[in-house]
């Protein structure tokens, strides 16, 4: 039985990407992006739901992110979900769900 782990999002970067270079020449670009759903409430009032997503891009995609993206950029990404964990400075275990991007496209608002 095959399963699929695929995510597609279009939204805006919340901050400039953070770039990290490794001794082996590899690179990672990490950024947050917001997606927004606009809808009407049962009272007919306009409302929106903004969700924040954490994205990591590696290698050549990280280079593209570093060159092309900045805070506010409107982008489409495709990738896969992953969850990682770490222990914070207070000894608490924390979990982060993020998207590992395998495609990043700068978009125009009209697209």
Asked if residue 64 belongs to a domain, the reply is yes
Q: Residue 25 has what DSSP assignment?
A: S
The CATH number of the domain holding residue 57 is: 2.40.50.140
Asked if residue 57 belongs to a domain, the reply is yes
Given a cut of 60, whether residue 107 has pLDDT beyond it is yes
Please state the rounded mean pLDDT for residues 3-23: 95
pLDDT of residue 3: 81
Given a cut of 70, whether residue 95 has pLDDT beyond it is yes
Asked if residue 66 belongs to a domain, the reply is yes
Asked if residue 2 belongs to a domain, the reply is no
The domain of 51 spans 7-38+47-106
Which tens digits make up the pLDDT trace of 65-93?
A: 999 999 999 999 999 999 999 999 999 99
Specify the length of the chain in residues. Answer: 111
Asked if residue 65 belongs to a domain, the reply is yes
> What tokens does 29 get?
């670009």
- Asked if residues 75 and 107 have their Cβ atoms less than 8 Å apart, the reply is yes
Asked if residue 91 belongs to a domain, the reply is yes
How many domains, in total, are found in the chain? 1
Taking the CA of residue 75 as centre, how many other CA atoms within 13 Å lie in the half-sphere pointing to its CB? 27
Asked if residue 1 belongs to a domain, the reply is no
Asked if residue 73 belongs to a domain, the reply is yes
Average predicted confidence (pLDDT) for the chain: 93
């Amino acid at each position: 039985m095959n399963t699929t782990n695929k995510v597609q999002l279009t939204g805006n970067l919340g901050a400039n990407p953070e770039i990290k270079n490794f001794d082996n020449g590899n690179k990672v670009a990490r950024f947050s992006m917001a997606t927004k759903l606009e809808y009407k409430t049962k009272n007919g009032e306009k409302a929106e739901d903004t969700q924040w997503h954490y994205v990591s891009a590696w290698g050549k995609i990280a280079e593209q992110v570093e060159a092309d993206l900045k805070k506010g950029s409107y982008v489409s990404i495709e990738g896969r979900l992953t969850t990682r964990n770490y222990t914070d400075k207070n000894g608490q275990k924390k979990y982060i769900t993020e998207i590992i991007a395998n495609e990043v496209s700068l978009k125009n608002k009209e697209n």
